[in-house]
């Protein structure tokens, strides 16, 4: 069966992608080892007649005149600009750039990481005009633990609705996988295969990223015929926010110009040390070189808990709320707030109820992090586990309060 992307990638403008290069190795012509300059034996000069000498002098004069005119037209601007002026000097430390450095780095990163990148194919049953149909999907994944744990995107596994998941390894082996955890809000999922001793990829520190540093993506763009395609670029931006649809906004993303296409989803974004710093998730089709990745640091706690407990349980604050901007828009009021969440209901017996939160309270911060929206609050709660304690900064009757909450 041939698999296509079928809306796996979070494309923002529903335009077609151009396929990437097939990655075939190039051959390079060899350079001759020796270069010879043949010397001719000297011969006695021929005697020239006066007439021949005269023509020779005239020809030399004409050539000299032509060369002089050409030279003057070429160098005169540099000479003229300094006439009557003090000579300007500019001194700077010399910068030497070895163009082979980045190529060698990319090659080394690929050799280190390639075996830890997998292809993921799925089957999902969907309803359409003709009834129930099986739809195939394709994406990428990253081996994050040698005992068979693989990190990918939630949309790669149909947000948990895939009835079949297969993992394709670098050596050609294809095995069935089990979905352990998925969350469409974060667009992350963890699947597992029953194989031990797999080459796990090293996780980097996405908080240390800087704009302009090397970024390398590996994945399966546009189908398995291009599997494990390597593209490279730079980190183009940090803490980016994009709207996937009316109800889904992804924030704190890494922006890169390394080419990302349908099928790259779930694959790694790597730094110059061959460490995973992001999980590729989306691109903007209306512009070139606009790809986005989920910072790897936001996945580490999830990975650890899934490995230890077999799943990941998010702590719940126990409220029903609304983004403050939407609240102001619906009610036509101006609270002079650009971000935050207003509590519409406190669930009885929940951590929020036990801490004394009330309907109408506006949540502004959780510890030191700003609460921008309900989706933002949900993502922030992923950083906490059961028995953790947090401090909420709230606004009640125009008065700021700090309320401690225990999960």
- Catalogue the active-site residues: 155, 187, 265
Q: Are 358 and 344 in contact (CB under 8 A)?
A: no
d(CA 55, CA 52): 5
Q: Are 224 and 3 in contact (CB under 8 A)?
A: yes
Give the H or E element holding residue 65: helix 50-80
Beta bridge partners of 276: 203, 270
d(CA 260, CA 254): 13
- Give me the helices (H) in 130-238, please: none
For residue 309, which of 192, 224, 226, 387 has the smallest C-alpha distance?
192
d(CA 192, CA 214): 30
Interior CA angle at 394 toward 393 and 399, to 5°?
A: 115
Q: Are 158 and 137 in contact (CB under 8 A)?
A: yes
Q: Is 128 helix (H, G, I), strand (E, B) or coil?
A: strand
User: What backbone phi and psi angles, to 5 degrees, belong to 62?
Assistant: -65, -45
Longest dimension (CA), the chain: 120
Q: Which residue has the tokens 């068979």?
A: 148
- For residue 128 the two structure tokens come to 């359409």
Instruction: Give first-to-last CA distance, the chain, whole Å.
Output: 47
């Amino acid at each position: 069966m041939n698999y296509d992307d079928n809306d796996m990638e979070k494309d923002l403008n529903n335009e077609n992608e151009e396929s990437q290069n097939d990655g075939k190795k190039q051959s390079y012509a060899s350079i001759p080892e020796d270069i010879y300059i043949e010397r001719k034996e000297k011969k006695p000069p021929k005697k020239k007649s006066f007439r021949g000498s005269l023509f020779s002098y005239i020809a030399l004069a004409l050539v000299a005149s032509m060369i002089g005119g050409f030279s003057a037209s070429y160098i005169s601007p540099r000479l003229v600009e300094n006439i009557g002026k003090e000579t300007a000097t500019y001194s700077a430390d010399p910068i030497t750039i070895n163009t082979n450095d980045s190529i060698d780095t990319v090659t080394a990163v690929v050799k280190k990481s390639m075996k830890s990148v997998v292809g993921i194919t799925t089957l999902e049953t969907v309803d359409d005009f003709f009834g129930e149909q099986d739809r195939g999907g394709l994406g990428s994944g990253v081996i994050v633990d040698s005992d068979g744990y693989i990190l990918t995107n939630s949309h790669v596994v149909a947000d948990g609705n895939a009835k079949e998941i297969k993992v394709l390894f670098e050596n050609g082996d294809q095995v069935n996988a089990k979905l352990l955890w998925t969350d469409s809000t974060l667009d992350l999922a963890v699947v597992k295969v029953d194989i031990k001793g797999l080459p796990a990829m090293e996780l980097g520190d996405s908080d240390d990223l800087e704009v302009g540093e090397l970024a390398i993506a590996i994945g399966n763009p546009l189908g398995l015929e291009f599997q494990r395609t390597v593209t490279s670029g730079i980190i183009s931006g940090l803490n980016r926010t994009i709207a996937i649809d009316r109800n889904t906004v992804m924030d704190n993303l890494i922006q890169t110009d390394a080419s990302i296409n349908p099928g790259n989803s779930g694959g790694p974004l790597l730094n110059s040390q061959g460490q995973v710093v992001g999980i590729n998730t989306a691109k903007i089709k209306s512009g070139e070189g606009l790809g986005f990745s989920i910072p790897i640091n936001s996945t580490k706690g999830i990975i650890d808990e899934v490995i230890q407990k077999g799943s990941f349980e998010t702590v719940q604050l126990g409220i029903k709320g609304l983004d403050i901007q939407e609240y102001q828009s619906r009610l036509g009021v101006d609270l002079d707030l650009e971000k935050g969440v207003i509590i519409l209901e406190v669930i009885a017996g929940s951590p929020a109820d036990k801490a004394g939160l009330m309907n109408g309270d506006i949540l502004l911060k959780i510890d030191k992090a700003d609460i921008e929206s309900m989706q933002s609050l949900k993502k922030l709660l992923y950083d906490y586990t059961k028995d953790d304690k947090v401090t909420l900064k709230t606004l009640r009757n125009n008065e700021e309060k700090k309320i401690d909450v225990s999960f």
